[in-house]
Structure 1
Amino acid sequence: MELHDALVVGVDTGGTFTDFVYVTPDGEVGTYKTLSTPKNPAEAVLKGLEVIGVERVAHVVHGSTVATNAVLERKGVKTALITNSGFEDVIEIGRQNRERIYDLLYVKPPPLVPESLRFGVSGRILCTGEEETPISREEVESVIERILKMGAESVAVCLLFSFVNPSHEEVISEICEKRGLSVSASHRILPEFREFERTSTTVLNAYVSPIMKRYLTHLVTRLGGDERLRVMQSNGGSISSRTAMVESIRTILSGPAGGVVGAFEVGRRAGYDRLITFDMGGTSTDVSLVDGKVSLTTESKISGWPIRVPMIDIHTVGAGGGSIARIDEGGSLKVGPESAGADPGPICYGKGEEVTVTDANLFLGRLIPDHFLGGKMKLHPERVVPRMEALAEKAGLSPVELAEGILDVANATMEK
Structure 2
Amino acid sequence: MTGTTATGSRFAQRIAIDIGGTFTDLALIDGEGVVVTHKRLTTPRNPVEGFVSGVSELLELAGISPDLVHEIRHATTLGSNVVIERLGAPVAFLTTKGFGDVLQIQKAVRYSIYDTRMRKPEPLVPRSRVWEVNERVMASGEVLRPLDAKEARRIVSEIRASGARAVAVGFLHSYANPLHEEQMKELFAQEAPEIYVTLSSEVSQLAKEYARFNTAVTNAYLTPIFRDYLSRLGAALQERSIEAPLWIMQSSGGLTSSERAAALPVRSVESGPTAGVTMAARRSSMSGFENVISFDMGGTTAKASIVTNGRPTISRSFEIDRLEMRDGSGLPLDTLAVDLIEIGSGGGSIAQLLAGALQVGPRSAASEPGPVCYARGGTEPTVTDAALVLGYLDPASFAGGAIRLDRDGAVKALARLGEPLGLDALQTAWGVHQLVCLNMERATRLISIDKGLDPRDYAMICFGGAGPVHAARLARGLGVKNMIVPAGAGVGSALGLLSSVEKTELARTRKILLDGGCVEKVARQIFEELRRQAAAMMGCEPDDPRLSAHHFVGLRYSGQGYELEVELPSVWDEGLGAKLRDAFARLYSNVYGYAEDLPLEATTWRIALESVGQDIEERLSVERSEGGRALKGRRTAYFGETGETQINVYDRHAMSGDDRAIGPCVIEERDTTTVLLPGDIGRIDERGAIIVEIGKAAQ
**What TM-score bracket applies, with the shorter chain setting the length?**
over 0.9
Contact 1:234/1:250, CA 8 A, preserved across alignment: yes
Distance, in Å, in 1 between the alignment partners of 2:44 and 2:187 is 35
Q: CA deviation at 1:226?
A: 7.8
Distance, in Å, in 1 between the alignment partners of 2:438 and 2:378 is 24
1:203 is aligned to 217
Distance, in Å, in 1 between the alignment partners of 2:281 and 2:122 is 38
Distance, in Å, in 2 between the alignment partners of 1:259 and 1:219 is 22
**3-state SS, counterpart of residue 284 of structure 2:** helix
Matches for 1:327-338 after TM superposition, within 5 Å = 327-329=353-355, 331-338=356-363
Q: 1:310 aligns with which of 336, 352, 364?
A: 336
Contact 1:333/1:395, CA 8 A, preserved across alignment: no
Q: Does 1:341 align with 2:366?
A: yes
Distance, in Å, in 1 between the alignment partners of 2:54 and 2:340 is 27
**3-state SS, counterpart of residue 407 of structure 1:** helix
1:387 is aligned to 413
**3-state SS, counterpart of residue 135 of structure 1:** coil
2:110 is aligned to 98
Q: Does 1:68 align with 2:95?
A: no
Distance, in Å, in 1 between the alignment partners of 2:110 and 2:38 is 45
Cα RMSD after superposing both structures: 1.7
1:115 is aligned to 127
Which segment is superposed worse, 18-27 or 350-359?
350-359
Q: CA deviation at 1:384?
A: 2.4
C-alpha distance after superposition, 1:291-319 (max 9, x if no partner): 21221110211111111211111122221
Which segment is superposed worse, 113-122 or 178-187?
178-187
Q: 1:301 aligns with which of 319, 322, 335?
A: 319
Distance, in Å, in 1 between the alignment partners of 2:174 and 2:21 is 37
| Amino acid corresponding to residue 136 of structure 1 in structure 2 | D
| Amino acid corresponding to residue 291 of structure 2 in structure 1 | R
2:178 is aligned to 166
Residues 226/150 of structure 1: CA separation in 2 closer, same or farther (3 Å cut): farther
1:373 is aligned to 399
Matches for 1:181-220 after TM superposition, within 5 Å = 181-220=195-234
Instruction: Give unmatched runs, 5+ long, in structure 1.
Output: none
C-alpha distance after superposition, 1:167-226 (max 9, x if no partner): 211122223344111111011000111111111111111111211111111222233488
Q: Does 1:36 align with 2:39?
A: no
- Structure number with the higher helix fraction is 1
| Amino acid corresponding to residue 318 of structure 2 in structure 1 | S
Which segment is superposed worse, 95-104 or 43-52?
95-104
Instruction: Give unmatched runs, 5+ long, in structure 2.
Output: 60-65, 322-329, 443-699
Q: Does 1:51 align with 2:63?
A: no
Query: When the two structures are superposed, what TM-score results if normalisation uses the length of structure 2?
Result: 0.58
Distance, in Å, in 1 between the alignment partners of 2:135 and 2:23 is 49
C-alpha distance after superposition, 1:79-116 (max 9, x if no partner): 11000111011111111211111333322222111110
Higher CA-based Rg: 2
Residues 351/193 of structure 1: CA separation in 2 closer, same or farther (3 Å cut): same
1:14 is aligned to 20
**3-state SS, counterpart of residue 119 of structure 1:** strand
Q: How many residues align?
A: 415
Q: Does 1:153 align with 2:165?
A: yes
Residues 305/226 of structure 1: CA separation in 2 closer, same or farther (3 Å cut): farther
**3-state SS, counterpart of residue 58 of structure 1:** coil
Which segment is superposed worse, 20-29 or 341-350?
341-350
Distance, in Å, in 1 between the alignment partners of 2:291 and 2:216 is 35
Residues 122/185 of structure 1: CA separation in 2 closer, same or farther (3 Å cut): same
Matches for 1:186-265 after TM superposition, within 5 Å = 186-224=200-238, 228-265=245-282
Distance, in Å, in 2 between the alignment partners of 1:226 and 1:235 is 27
Distance, in Å, in 1 between the alignment partners of 2:277 and 2:179 is 39
Contact 2:302/2:345, CA 8 A, preserved across alignment: yes
Matches for 1:319-330 after TM superposition, within 5 Å = 319-329=345-355
1:134 is aligned to 146
Distance, in Å, in 1 between the alignment partners of 2:157 and 2:409 is 56
Distance, in Å, in 2 between the alignment partners of 1:92 and 1:20 is 41
Contact 1:321/1:358, CA 8 A, preserved across alignment: yes
Residues 177/339 of structure 1: CA separation in 2 closer, same or farther (3 Å cut): farther
Distance, in Å, in 2 between the alignment partners of 1:150 and 1:342 is 37
1:282 is aligned to 299
Q: CA deviation at 1:227?
A: 5.8
C-alpha distance after superposition, 1:29-63 (max 9, x if no partner): 11111111222222211111111234332111111
| Amino acid corresponding to residue 334 of structure 1 in structure 2 | Q
